[in-house]
C-alpha cells in the first residue's frame, strides 16, 4: 500500500477497504492470544484455514486471527458472525464440522457451546454468557474486530480517525484540556491524572521531548497490557501519537517486557505497517507533525516497570531507579521531558478524542472515571480478563463475573495491585473498583491484577510469597529495600516455620512502616503493603502460626501433616507407587498410611489420588 499524504487519502483507503469486504458473508474470529495458543489455538487456526480453503470458501469467508478475548479458561475460543456464536475448547478436529455446519449453514454445534456452570445450560451467543454480560468492554471488544498484524483491519474498524481529528481540528492545548476533563487516570498503578501529566510535560522547557509506553507489566497475575498490546497494537500507537502531538514530542518508545515475545512481535509489525503508510515518520498525513516510534525490549527485571528504571533501561543501562526530586516530565529519558504512560492509558485516548471527555466521564465514580481492565485469576471458576466500569463492586467482579469459588470452597480474600497492593477480605467486597477507595482500604487497585484466594490459601504464605518476589526483583541499591525486605522475610519465614514469637509482629509492623517511608523508589515504598494488609485483616492467621504453631489453611509445610483418610482410602496403591520418598505403606485393598517422618509434603500423592482420600491437617 502506498503512503498516505493527507487525511482524505486515509478516508478513501478506509472506504475502499470496506467496499472490498462487502462480499464477506461470514467472519470466523479465532483467538490467537498467548493464553489460547498455550491451549493449542495455533493448530485450530491452521485447521480452519485449511478447511476453508478445501471447501473453496477463502474468498467469501474471512478468518480473523485476533488477540485475546479475555475468557482464557475456555480456550481455544472462537466467535462466528453473523449470529455471534461462541465456541470454546475448540480442537483442530472440529474444523470440518464448524465450517460445514456453522459457517455454511448457520447451524450451531451444541457440544462446542459454553455451558453455564450455575444453570447447567448451553449458551449460544457471546453476549449472553454471564462472564461477558456483566462487563463493559470498551477496549477488550475491539480485540475481536482486528487481526493485530493487519493495519487494514484497524482502519476498517475506524482506526486512526482520532488522529486525523486532532491533526485537523485540535490544538495541543485543546487535546490536553479534553484529557483533563475526561478524568482519565494512569492505568499502570499510580492513578496519576493523565491530563495533568501531559500538561506538566508540555510546559516543561525544551524542544526535545519523548513519549513512552510502559508495557513492562511485571505484576505477577496481571496480563491486561499483554492482551491490549498483542491484540490491538495500533490502538496504543494511535494514543501515543495523539499524546506526542499534544506535548510536542517527535519520538516515542514502547518498552515491552522480555517475557512477552508475541507482544514484541506484533508491536514491531504494527510500527512497520504504520511507517509504510506514512502514519509514522515525517509530516504525517501531510501535516507538520513528525513522529516515530521504536520498540525497546526489557531484560527481565520487575523494577524496570518503575519510570526512572525503565528510562535507564531504554538508555542501555542497568534498571536502577533514581531519586525523583525532579519529576520525569521535566527530567526523564536522556534527561529530557518525558511523558510515560501505561499501555491501557494510551489505549483509552483515541476513544476520548472521538467520543468526547463527557462520554468518558459519564462512566465511573467521582474520582475514578471510565472503565478498567482487570485480570481475574486464582481460585475461582471463571478466570480471564474482565473490563468493568469504575465503581463496580468487587463482589460483582468475583461472583457474578468470576462465578465464585472452585469446588464448593469459600472465597476468603482477593489480592489486588500485585506486589504493591494488598489483600481485601470478603467482608469488604462491597467496596467499588475505585483508585481512592481501594487505596484507603489498604489494597490499591494497582495495574488491575485480582487474584482470588479461598480457605486453602494461607495469608501469611501470601505475604511471604510477595516478599520473596520483591527480594528477588529489588535492584538492591538502597538500604531500606535491600535489608528491610530481607529482614521482613526472615521474620515471616520464622513464623511460617513455627519459630514465630509474638513480639515479632510488632517489629514487623515497625519495619514495614520504616521501609514504606524511606525507600528510594516505588518498589521499596510499596513492598510492605502485602504484609501490612494481611496483618490488618488476617491477624488471626499470624497469631495461629505463632501461638498455636498451626497453619489454618494447611499450606505451611513445617506446620502441616499429610494424612490418608481411612474411610475414603480404597487401598488402590496409586499413591504408594507415586511417592518418591517411600513414605506410604499399605497392603492391597487396605487403607494406606503415610509416615510423617519420611513425608516431604511434595503433594504428588494428593494430586494422584482419585478418591480424594488424602487431606492436610
Partner 1 sequence: MLQYVNVSIDGAIIRAVKGNSVLDTAIEYGICIPHLCHVPYLSDIGACRLCIVEHVVNGRSEITTSCTLNVEEGMVILTNTDKIRKLRRNIAELLVAQAPNSRAIQDIALRCGVKEVRYPFRNEDCVLCGRCVRVCAEVWKAQAIGFVGRGKDRHVDYPFGVRPDFCKQCGSCIQLCPMTITPCDGPMKPGEERLCGKCESQLMIADQTPDHCVWCKLGEGFGCGRYV
Partner 2 sequence: MPPQTLDQILEGRRSQPGQLIEVLQDVQENHGYISEEAMQAVSRGLGVPLMEVYRVASFYKAFRLHPSGKNVLTMCMGTACHVRGARLLLDQATGQLGVKPGGVTPDGLFSVERVNCLGACALGPVVTVNGSYYHHMTPGKLRKLIETLSRQETEDSQNVQAE
Show contacts with partner 1 in window 514-543 (CB under 8 A).
Answer: 514, 517-520
Q: Does position 258 bind partner 1 by CB under 8 A?
A: no
What 3-state DSSP class applies to 544?
A: helix
Q: Does position 501 bind partner 1 by CB under 8 A?
A: no
Q: Does position 171 bind partner 1 by CB under 8 A?
A: no
Contact segment (CB under 8 A) with partner 2 among 163-171, 349-357, 361-369, 468-476 equals: 468-476
210-215/338-342 β-pairing: parallel
Q: Does position 449 bind partner 2 by CB under 8 A?
A: yes
Cβ(388)–Cβ(135) under 8 Å?
yes
Show contacts with partner 1 in window 274-303 (CB under 8 A).
Answer: 301, 303
Site string for partner 2, 164-183 (x = CB under 8 A): --------------------
Largest pairwise CA distance in the chain: 84
519's contact among partner 1, partner 2, none, with CB below 5 to 8 A by partner kind, is: partner 1
Select from 158, 476, 582, 587 the one that contacts partner 1 (CB under 8 A): 476
| 414-428-228 Cα angle (round to 5) | 45
Select from 131, 469, 537, 538 the one that contacts partner 2 (CB under 8 A): 469
**Those residues with Cβ within 8 angstroms of residue 344's Cβ, 6 or more apart along the chain or in another chain:** 139, 187, 188, 224, 225, 228, 372, 373, 448
Q: Does position 595 bind partner 1 by CB under 8 A?
A: no
- The footprint of partner 2 on this chain (CB under 8 A) covers a number of residues equal to 60
Select from 28, 240, 373, 375 the one that contacts partner 2 (CB under 8 A): 375
The residue (of 196 and 477) whose beta carbon lies closer to partner 2 is 477
Q: Does position 204 bind partner 1 by CB under 8 A?
A: no
Tell me the three-class secondary structure of 497-532, residue by residue: CCCCCCHHHHHHHHHHHHHHHHCCCHHHHHCCHHHH
Select from 217, 306, 331, 387 the one that contacts partner 2 (CB under 8 A): 217
Cβ(88)–Cβ(112) under 8 Å?
yes
Show contacts with partner 2 in window 44-103 (CB under 8 A).
Answer: 72-73, 75
Q: Closest by alpha carbon to 467, among 518, 543, 407, 524?
A: 524
Cβ(445)–Cβ(416) under 8 Å?
yes
Cβ(561)–Cβ(602) under 8 Å?
no
Rounded distance, CA 257 to CA 248, Å?
Answer: 26
Q: Closest by alpha carbon to 255, among 200, 198, 191, 188?
A: 188
Q: Does position 37 bind partner 2 by CB under 8 A?
A: yes
Q: Does position 473 bind partner 2 by CB under 8 A?
A: yes
**Those residues with Cβ within 8 angstroms of residue 317's Cβ, 6 or more apart along the chain or in another chain:** none
Q: Does position 507 bind partner 1 by CB under 8 A?
A: yes
153's contact among partner 2, partner 1, none, with CB below 5 to 8 A by partner kind, is: none
Rounded distance, CA 204 to CA 195, Å?
Answer: 14
Q: Does position 315 bind partner 1 by CB under 8 A?
A: no
Shortest distance, CB of residue 226 to partner 2, whole angstroms? 5
What cell numbers appear for 183 in the block?
A: 478524568
Rounded distance, CA 556 to CA 460, Å?
Answer: 9
Q: Which residues bind partner 2 (CB under 8 A)?
A: 34-35, 37-39, 72-73, 75, 217-223, 226, 258-260, 296-302, 313-319, 375, 377-379, 383-384, 415, 418, 449, 451, 453, 457, 462, 465-466, 469, 472-473, 475, 578, 580, 600, 602-604, 607-608
Amino acid at each position: 500500500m502506498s503512503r498516505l499524504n493527507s487525511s482524505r487519502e486515509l478516508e478513501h483507503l478506509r472506504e475502499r477497504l470496506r467496499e472490498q469486504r462487502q462480499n464477506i458473508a461470514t467472519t470466523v474470529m479465532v483467538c490467537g492470544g498467548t493464553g489460547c495458543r498455550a491451549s493449542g489455538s495455533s493448530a485450530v487456526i491452521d485447521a480452519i484455514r485449511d478447511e476453508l480453503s478445501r471447501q473453496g470458501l477463502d474468498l467469501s469467508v474471512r478468518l480473523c486471527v485476533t488477540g485475546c478475548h479475555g475468557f482464557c479458561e475456555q480456550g481455544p475460543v472462537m466467535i462466528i458472525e453473523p449470529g455471534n456464536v461462541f465456541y470454546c475448547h475448540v480442537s483442530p478436529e472440529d474444523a470440518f464440522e464448524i465450517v460445514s455446519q456453522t459457517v455454511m449453514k448457520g447451524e450451531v454445534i451444541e457440544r462446542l457451546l459454553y455451558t453455564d456452570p450455575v444453570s447447567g445450560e448451553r449458551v449460544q451467543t457471546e453476549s449472553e454468557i454471564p462472564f461477558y454480560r456483566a462487563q463493559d468492554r470498551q477496549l477488550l471488544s475491539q480485540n475481536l474486530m482486528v487481526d493485530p498484524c493487519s493495519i487494514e483491519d484497524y482502519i476498517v474498524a475506524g482506526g486512526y480517525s482520532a488522529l486525523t481529528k486532532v491533526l485537523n481540528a485540535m490544538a495541543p492545548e485543546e487535546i490536553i484540556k479534553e484529557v483533563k476533563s475526561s478524568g482519565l487516570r494512569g492505568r499502570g498503578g499510580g492513578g496519576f491524572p493523565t491530563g495533568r501529566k501531559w500538561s506538566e510535560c508540555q510546559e516543561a522547557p525544551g524542544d526535545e521531548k519523548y513519549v513512552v509506553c510502559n508495557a513492562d507489566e511485571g505484576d505477577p497475575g496481571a496480563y491486561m497490557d499483554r492482551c491490549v498490546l498483542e491484540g490491538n497494537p495500533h490502538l496504543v500507537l494511535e494514543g501515543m501519537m495523539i499524546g506526542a502531538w499534544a506535548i510536542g514530542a517527535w519520538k516515542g518508545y514502547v518498552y515491552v517486557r522480555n517475557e512477552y515475545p508475541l507482544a514484541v512481535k506484533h508491536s514491531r509489525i504494527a510500527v512497520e505497517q504504520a511507517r509504510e503508510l506514512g502514519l509514522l515518520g515525517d509530516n504525517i498525513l501531510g501535516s507538520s507533525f513528525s513522529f516515530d516510534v521504536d520498540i525497546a525490549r526489557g531484560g527481565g527485571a520487575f523494577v524496570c516497570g518503575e519510570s526512572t528504571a525503565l528510562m535507564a533501561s531504554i538508555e542501555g543501562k542497568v534498571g536502577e531507579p533514581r531519586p525523583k526530586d525532579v519529576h520525569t516530565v521535566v527530567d526523564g529519558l536522556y534527561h529530557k521531558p518525558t511523558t510515560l504512560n501505561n499501555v491501557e492509558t494510551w489505549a483509552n485516548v483515541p476513544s476520548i478524542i472521538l467520543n468526547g471527555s463527557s462520554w468518558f466521564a459519564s462512566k465511573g465514580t467521582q474520582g475514578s472515571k471510565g472503565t478498567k481492565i482487570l485480570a481475574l485469576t486464582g481460585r475461582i471458576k471463571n478466570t480471564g480478563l474482565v473490563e468493568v466500569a469504575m465503581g463496580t463492586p468487587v463482589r460483582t467482579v468475583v461472583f457474578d463475573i468470576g462465578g465464585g469459588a472452585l469446588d464448593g470452597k469459600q472465597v476468603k480474600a482477593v489480592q489486588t495491585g500485585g506486589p504493591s497492593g494488598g489483600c481485601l477480605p470478603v467482608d469488604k467486597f462491597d467496596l467499588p473498583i475505585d483508585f481512592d477507595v481501594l487505596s484507603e482500604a489498604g489494597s490499591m487497585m494497582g495495574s488491575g491484577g485480582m487474584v482470588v484466594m479461598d480457605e486453602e490459601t494461607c495469608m501469611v504464605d501470601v505475604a511471604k510469597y510477595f516478599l520473596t518476589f520483591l527480594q528477588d526483583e529489588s535492584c538492591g541499591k538502597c538500604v531500606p529495600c535491600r535489608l528491610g525486605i530481607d529482614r521482613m522475610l526472615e521474620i515471616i519465614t520464622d513464623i511460617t516455620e513455627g519459630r514465630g514469637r509474638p513480639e515479632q509482629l510488632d517489629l514487623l509492623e515497625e519495619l514495614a512502616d520504616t521501609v514504606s517511608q524511606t525507600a528510594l523508589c516505588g518498589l521499596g515504598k510499596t513492598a510492605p503493603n502485602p504484609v501490612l494488609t494481611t496483618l490488618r485483616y488476617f491477624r488471626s492467621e499470624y497469631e495461629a502460626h505463632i501461638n498455636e504453631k498451626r497453619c489454618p489453611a494447611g499450606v505451611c509445610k513445617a506446620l502441616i501433616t499429610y494424612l490418608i483418610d481411612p474411610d475414603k482410602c480404597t487401598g488402590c496403591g496409586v499413591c504408594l507407587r507415586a511417592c518418591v520418598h517411600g513414605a506410604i505403606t499399605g497392603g492391597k485393598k487396605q487403607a494406606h498410611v503415610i509416615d510423617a517422618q519420611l513425608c516431604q509434603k511434595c503433594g504428588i500423592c494428593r494430586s494422584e489420588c482419585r478418591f480424594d482420600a488424602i487431606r492436610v491437617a
